[in-house]
Structure 1
Amino acid sequence: MSDDQDAVGAMSFIFEAGVLKRAARTGWWFAGIKNPESIAEHSFRTALIGMMLAAMEGADPGRVAMMCVLHDTQETRITDIPHIAKRYLTAAPNTAITADQVADCPPVVAETIASAVAEYEAGETLEAVVARDADKLECLVQAVEYRHQGIDGTQRWVDSSRASLRTASAHRLADAALTGQPLAWLSPPRPPG
């Protein structure tokens, strides 16, 4: 494959990933959220949380952040299937979707992306466990924020997300989210003494 073809293939995946900026996280509609966050917005904060959790848990922050960025990229092709729908639908495995998405990328790019998705999906390494916790923790944080905005129907997301957490650091952050105020950072710090 020529360098120009490699660039076209890589750009195709970049364009496709851009769809995630416009694709909503559909499960929030059940909670009454009319304009929920996009998949890309969710993935951005998941990567930020993942990087922090990785540092707290002694995992590789870069690897975790990469898995977090990529964990929902398959939703360009299958959309964000709400949890209730998964009882009735069977989607292709994320690893297979990713393989199709990156098939025209330069081999080194395709392997980098495919290996991160496979590791995340297997959920066996510390980095994958942390990345999965970051995904669930981001959902919990988003539910808390929606609750603070007056949306009442978010408790099931808090409960299911919290129950899925595996690391001690994720549990500590969840506790802080549940007792904190999302906009507390806007208040200036009090002067000492």
Structure 2
Amino acid sequence: MSDDQHLTGAMTFIFEAGVLKRAARTGWWFAGVKHPESIAEHSFRTALIGMMLAAMEGADPARVSMMCVLHDTQETRVTDIPHIAKHYLTAAPNTAVTADQVAACPPAVAEVITAAVAEYEAGETREAVVARDADKLECLVQAVEYRHQGVDNVQRWIDSSCAALQTRSAQRLADAALSGQPLAWLQTPSRTT
């Protein structure tokens, strides 16, 4: 494959990833959220949480953030399958979807992305464990925010997210989220005056 073809392949993946900005996280519809967050919005905050958890747990923040950014990119092709639907549907493994998505990218790009997704899916390294906790913690935080907005059918997301957390830091942040106020930061005095 020529350099121009590889560049076209990379740009194709970038365009495809842009679809995640418009694709809703479908599980929230069951809770009664009319306009749920997008997959890209979820992935952004997952990466931020992952970076913070990595620092707290002694893991590599850059590696964790990369896995968090990539952990749902496959949903451009298989959609965000709700948990209940997974009892009835079988989707291709995320590693296979990712391999197809980046097949036309420059080899170095494809290797970096497929290795990060494979590491996340295996869940065996410290960084993968932290990235998976970031995903669950972001879901919990989103549920807390929806609850504060008046959506009262989110407890199952809170419970399942809490139950899935593996690191002590994620558990402690979950406790803080559950007792916190999503808009408390608005009362912080400005120091720029």
Structure-1-length-normalised TM-score: 0.97
Identity, % of aligned pairs?
84
Tell me which stretches of 4 or more aligned residues in structure 1 moved more than 4 Å: none
Superposed CA offset, 1:150-193 (max 9, x none)? 000000000000000000000010000000000000003499xx
Unpaired segments ≥5 residues, structure 1: none
Q: Distance in 1 between matches of 2:45 and 2:101?
A: 23
Q: Distance in 2 between matches of 1:47 and 1:165?
A: 16
Query: Match for 2:90: what amino acid?
Result: T
Q: Secondary structure at the match of 2:110?
A: helix
What does residue 53 of structure 2 align with? Answer: 53
Superposed CA offset, 1:51-87 (max 9, x none)? 0000000000000000000000000000000000000
Shift, 1:6, TM fit: 1.2
What does residue 66 of structure 1 align with? Answer: 66
Q: Distance in 2 between matches of 1:117 and 1:90?
A: 19
What does residue 30 of structure 2 align with? Answer: 30
Unpaired segments ≥5 residues, structure 2: none
Shift, 1:5, TM fit: 1.1
What does residue 97 of structure 1 align with? Answer: 97
- The alpha-carbon distance between structure 1 residues 145 and 2, as it changes in their structure 2 partners (threshold 3 A), is same
Q: Distance in 2 between matches of 1:148 and 1:126?
A: 33
Superposed CA offset, 1:79-113 (max 9, x none)? 00000000000000000000000000000000000
Q: Distance in 1 between matches of 2:112 and 2:190?
A: 46
Shift, 1:139, TM fit: 0.0
- What is the count of residue pairs matched by the alignment? 191
Map 1:83-122 → 2, pairs under 5 A: 83-122=83-122
Q: Distance in 2 between matches of 1:89 and 1:81?
A: 9
Q: Distance in 1 between matches of 2:174 and 2:61?
A: 19
Q: Distance in 1 between matches of 2:185 and 2:5?
A: 47
Structure-2-length-normalised TM-score: 0.97
- The alpha-carbon distance between structure 1 residues 3 and 177, as it changes in their structure 2 partners (threshold 3 A), is same
What does residue 157 of structure 1 align with? Answer: 157
Does residue 41 in structure 1 map to residue 41 in structure 2? yes
CA RMSD of aligned residues (A): 1.1
Shift, 1:24, TM fit: 0.2
Q: Distance in 2 between matches of 1:177 and 1:27?
A: 20
Superposed CA offset, 1:37-64 (max 9, x none)? 0000000000000000000000000000
Q: Distance in 1 between matches of 2:79 and 2:190?
A: 46
- The alpha-carbon distance between structure 1 residues 100 and 190, as it changes in their structure 2 partners (threshold 3 A), is closer
